[in-house]
Structures are given as structure tokens and as C-alpha cells.
Amino acid sequence: MDLPLKAPTGTPPGAAAAVDAGNSLFEAGQWEQAKGQYETALTAHSTLAEAHYDLALVLDQLGRKAEAMAHYKEAANLAPGNRVIWNAPPFRKYDAEVGKSLYDKRLPHPDPQRPY
């Protein structure tokens, strides 16, 4: 099982505290309570990729695959350089093409006249 991510330095204190609390609950296997903390973090800071990713991990544990996928995608969109988010097995297991399609949208092709 993958571990949740910590909030990065500079995260607003309320969001960071909620992520920390969620991570403690996650490690204790208290999925519903952890879910609530990650949702609190996202209420405080909706573009926190790590909270989206952590929420996706919890939703995955709860068997809520479609909701988890939405948060995995949001985390990837918000953190294009975060290797943990982009390379995590739970993210890849849903759709191997998601990462490629999201990555392709971020980087223009070097020569638009030659799209191959």
C-alpha cells in the first residue's frame, strides 16, 4: 500500500494540519476519518495536489474507485513534476493512458508540423 504525502512547505497552516491529521489516521487504518481530514484540507486549500492524492488513496481503500480516479487526476494536473503522484501504482492501475494523455496536454509537440 502506498503512503500518503505530506503537505509541502508553504502550505497554509490549516490545510497542512489537516493533511498531517489525515496522514496519522491513514496510517492507523481509519479511512473515513482520514477522508474527512483530507476534505478539510481541500476546503482550506483546493489546489493542494498532495491532499487530492491522499484523498484518492483513502477513497481507493474504501472501494470508491471512480471518486478516487477523479482525485488522482486532479493531483496529477496540479503537480505535473511530482514523481510520486505521477508514478504511483494506484494511479497507473486505473488507466495506463491517463498519465500519458495528461502529460501530452502539458507539453506541446516539439514540431507541430510533424505530430509523429
Q: Residue 111: what pLDDT?
A: 47
With respect to residue 19, please indicate whether it lies within any of the assigned structural domains.
yes
Q: Is the pTM of this model over 0.85?
A: no
CA gap 35, 22 in Å, rounded: 7
With respect to residue 62, please indicate whether it lies within any of the assigned structural domains.
yes
With respect to residue 115, please indicate whether it lies within any of the assigned structural domains.
no
Q: Residue 32: exposed, middle, or buried by beta-carbon count in 10 A (0-12, 13-18, 19+)?
A: exposed
| Interval 78-106 mean pLDDT | 65
Domain that holds residue 78: 13-106
Inform me whether the pLDDT recorded for 12 exceeds 50: yes
Count Cα neighbours of 28 within 13 Å in the Cβ-side half-sphere: 11
- Rg, the chain, Cα only: 15
Domain count, the chain: 1
What would the pLDDT profile of 44-58 be if each residue is shown by its tens digit?
999 999 999 999 999
Residue 25, domain CATH: 1.25.40.10
Inform me whether the pLDDT recorded for 115 exceeds 80: no
CA gap 33, 9 in Å, rounded: 24
